């Protein structure tokens, strides 16, 4: 009754009885209430719960009960019609009213949405025990559908979620399964196969609408009651029995599937399949484990998990991080603040009845996959094997603390799979949310978005702190760089000064050495000069007067027979070597240093006297 308590109560209280006994005192019942007089005392003194469902004989004080009015909201394509009738009316009366409102012949209408199954036009509404408010819908399979409005309504139906309450007849167990309107009947049957181990072609169904004639039909157009619809499934033991049951329940049993899409099933004959012969569920024979037990390397285990997940549920699934949990932390939490993400840990359990529906319908939904890939690092682990479960609980205790580990440890198998949302903080890792498998796509998305809002607020603070820290570090780096450049400049200046001083010292040393060498040469030349002849010498004497570049003069007498080299040696002994200076004559002007030094002064015409001057060579 869509969680409407009043509607649920109205659905179980018999409306044809009038007023219940509990509404009257004993004094108002003048006659026997139920049967003979001998039973009246027991009935009035100890009324049981069953007495409320027995016929009450009204006394004179009970007035005629007013007719009960029922409200119906009938949906047809993009229209909605409200119908109000007495509960004494029939289903045909509703169709006649709708015929005037919708301009559709009553014979073309299929009125659906009855909680008790299909009814015919002669059925009295009172016999259906309906609540006051009811929702129905009209199908017109014989009329052509409209183009635009119908497509809009169909798209809306495809986006709706249907709750299918499937009862497994043999074990008397109910499964509450959520499917989107775009899912097909074939997908429902395959999911039920995973839960019940009944192959699709052996499934015997009750409760499908008569309009659901093809396994490829989507739930949105199959005529299911929205938002909740009840179905029953059992095993077809033999073709003969199936035909007999189909003939007996032709109005309720539909689509004992013989689809070609069951390639993944064991090709067993009707009756007991191989899995039951060996006491093993056929789904266990079909499936490989999601993760090897006691895997040494977490990366290799997650590679197998990803491959097996893809083989079961297709390639449209979250991108699982391949590596250890510590590596996933490093990837999600320890980068730059702008690049950080939330960590989503998916905990799988093959023995949970919710696993197949959660993986195929929610975890593999395109919206969930896209949102996870953009905002989360997704890491997975299989909790089916006890060794793997213990290993994860150890990791959980180490990284999240004993409280979180105990929370996961106390989760029952049917509460799996679990989805843990982890946010990294400066000092620890915080578990924002633990999402159990019994959820819907919308609720899962809302909880992911709520966690993302918390994370975004924290991330903005981290980005601000990181920017301020980087600004401080940049200022410090700039200061350090300026100080380093200053030190480099000082060191370079000091080294240049040291090099200059060293060069000056080296040049000074060279100069000193050269001066010492020249002085030694001068002294040597001075000592090697022949003695100066006296003025009264009987030999021919040449008197030479030599002017230096500084304007000074020095004179000396030489024998006219002396060689010109003696004059050069004399000039060199005064500090003017002939390699650096040239000796020029006045009249005529000539370069004496160009003459043959072995000739005598007489031969070069430097006799009896001559004035010469020194000039530095260029």
3-state secondary structure of 500: helix
- Going by pLDDT thresholds of 50, 70 and 90, the confidence category of residue 510 is very high
Q: pLDDT tens digit string along 420-431?
A: 998 887 667 788
Is the pLDDT reported for residue 571 higher than 50?
yes
Q: How many other C-beta atoms lie within 10 A of the C-beta of residue 562?
A: 21
Is the pLDDT reported for residue 523 higher than 80?
yes
Is the pLDDT reported for residue 24 higher than 70?
no
Is the pLDDT reported for residue 240 higher than 70?
no
The share of the chain scoring above pLDDT 70, in percent, equals 81
Count the helices and strands in the chain (H runs, E runs).
16, 17
Q: How far apart are alpha carbons 602 and 608 in whole angstroms?
A: 8
Range of weakest confidence among 71-85, 420-434, 461-475? 420-434
- Going by pLDDT thresholds of 50, 70 and 90, the confidence category of residue 242 is very low
Say if pTM beats, i.e. exceeds, 0.75.
no
The pLDDT assigned to 258 comes to 40
* Top-confidence residue, 302 or 144: 302
The pLDDT assigned to 67 comes to 78
Q: How far apart are alpha carbons 193 and 188 in whole angstroms?
A: 9
- Going by pLDDT thresholds of 50, 70 and 90, the confidence category of residue 151 is low
Residue whose token pair is 């839960």: 195
- Going by pLDDT thresholds of 50, 70 and 90, the confidence category of residue 281 is very low
How large is the average pLDDT for residues 286-313? 84
The pLDDT assigned to 411 comes to 86
- Of 603, 591, 610, 592, give the one whose Cα is nearest residue 544: 610
Q: pLDDT tens digit string along 317-358?
A: 899 998 888 888 888 888 888 888 899 999 999 888 888 889
Q: pLDDT tens digit string along 370-392?
A: 999 889 999 999 989 888 888 88
Task: Note whether 135 and 73 are within 8 A (CB).
Answer: yes
Q: How far apart are alpha carbons 125 and 137 in whole angstroms?
A: 16
Is the pLDDT reported for residue 266 higher than 50?
no
Q: How far apart are alpha carbons 530 and 374 in whole angstroms?
A: 109
Range of weakest confidence among 166-180, 263-277, 367-381, 422-436? 263-277
The pLDDT assigned to 287 comes to 67
Is the pLDDT reported for residue 155 higher than 60?
yes
How large is the average pLDDT for residues 462-477? 88
- Of 362, 360, 359, 348, give the one whose Cα is nearest residue 440: 362
Task: Note whether 432 and 454 are within 8 A (CB).
Answer: yes
Task: Note whether 149 and 78 are within 8 A (CB).
Answer: yes
Is the pLDDT reported for residue 496 higher than 90?
yes
Three-state secondary structure of 64-75? CCCCCEEEEEEE
Q: How far apart are alpha carbons 545 and 542 in whole angstroms?
A: 10
- Going by pLDDT thresholds of 50, 70 and 90, the confidence category of residue 263 is very low
Question: How many residues are recorded in the chain?
Answer: 618
Q: pLDDT tens digit string along 597-613?
A: 999 988 988 888 888 99
Task: Note whether 399 and 481 are within 8 A (CB).
Answer: no
């Amino acid at each position: 009754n869509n969680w409407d308590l009043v509607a649920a109560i109205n659905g179980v209280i018999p409306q044809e009885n009038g007023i219940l006994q509990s509404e009257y005192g004993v004094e108002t019942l003048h006659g026997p209430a139920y049967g003979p007089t001998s039973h009246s005392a027991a009935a009035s003194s100890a009324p049981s719960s069953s007495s409320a469902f027995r016929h009450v004989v009204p006394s004179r004080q009970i007035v005629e009960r007013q007719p009960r009015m029922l409200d119906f909201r009938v949906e047809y394509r993009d229209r909605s019609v409200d119908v109000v009738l007495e509960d004494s009316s029939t289903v045909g009366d509703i169709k006649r009213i709708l015929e005037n409102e919708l301009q559709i012949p009553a014979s073309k209408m299929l009125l659906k949405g009855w909680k008790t199954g299909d009814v015919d036009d002669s059925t009295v509404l009172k016999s259906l025990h309906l609540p006051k408010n009811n929702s129905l819908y009209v199908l017109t399979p014989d009329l052509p559908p409209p183009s635009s409005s119908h497509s809009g309504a169909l798209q809306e139906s495809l986006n709706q979620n249907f709750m299918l309450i499937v009862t497994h007849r043999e074990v008397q167990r109910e499964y509450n399964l959520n499917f989107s309107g775009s899912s097909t009947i074939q997908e429902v049957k395959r999911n039920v196969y995973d839960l019940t181990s009944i192959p699709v072609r052996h499934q015997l169904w009750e409760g499908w609408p008569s309009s659901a004639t093809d396994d490829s039909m989507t739930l949105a157009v199959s005529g299911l009651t929205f938002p909740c619809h009840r179905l029953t499934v059992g095993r077809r033991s033999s073709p003969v029995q199936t035909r007999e049951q189909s003939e007996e329940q032709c109005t309720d049993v539909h689509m004992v599937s013989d689809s070609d899409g069951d390639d993944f099933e064991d090709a067993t004959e009707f009756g007991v399949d191989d899995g039951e012969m060996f006491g093993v569920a056929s789904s266990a024979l079909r499936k490989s484990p999601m993760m090897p037990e006691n895997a040494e390397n977490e990366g290799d285990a997650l590679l197998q998990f990803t491959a097996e997940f893809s083989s079961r549920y297709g390639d449209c699934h979250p991108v699982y991080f391949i590596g250890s949990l510590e590596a996933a932390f490093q990837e999600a939490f320890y980068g730059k603040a702008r690049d950080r993400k939330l960590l989503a840990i998916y905990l799988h359990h093959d023995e949970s009845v919710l696993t197949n529906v959660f993986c195929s319908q929610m975890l593999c939904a395109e919206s969930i996959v896209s949102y996870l890939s953009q905002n989360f690092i997704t890491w997975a682990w299989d909790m089916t094997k006890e060794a793997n479960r213990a290993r994860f609980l150890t990791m959980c205790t180490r990284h999240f603390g004993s409280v979180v580990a105990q929370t996961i440890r106390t989760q029952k198998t049917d509460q799996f799979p679990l989805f843990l949302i982890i946010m990294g903080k400066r000092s620890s890792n915080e578990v924002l949310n633990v999402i159990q498998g019994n959820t819907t796509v919308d609720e899962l998305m809302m909880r992911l978005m709520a966690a993302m809002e918390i994370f975004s607020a924290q991330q903005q603070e981290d980005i601000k702190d990181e920017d301020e820290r980087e600004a401080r570090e940049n200022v410090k780096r700039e200061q350090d760089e300026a100080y380093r450049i200053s030190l480099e400049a000082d060191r370079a200046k000091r080294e240049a000064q040291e090099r200059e001083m060293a060069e000056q010292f080296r040049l000074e040393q060279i100069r000193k050495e050269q001066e010492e060498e020249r002085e030694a040469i001068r002294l040597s030349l001075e000592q090697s000069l022949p003695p100066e002849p006296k003025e009264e010498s009987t030999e021919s004497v040449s008197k030479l007067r030599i002017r230096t570049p500084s304007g000074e003069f020095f004179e000396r007498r030489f024998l006219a027979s002396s060689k010109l080299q003696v004059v050069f040696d004399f000039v060199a002994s005064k500090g003017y070597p002939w390699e650096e200076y040239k000796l020029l004559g006045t009249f005529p002007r000539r370069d004496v240093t160009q003459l043959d030094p072995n000739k005598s002064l007489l031969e070069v015409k430097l006799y009896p006297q001559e004035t010469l001057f020194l000039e530095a060579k260029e």
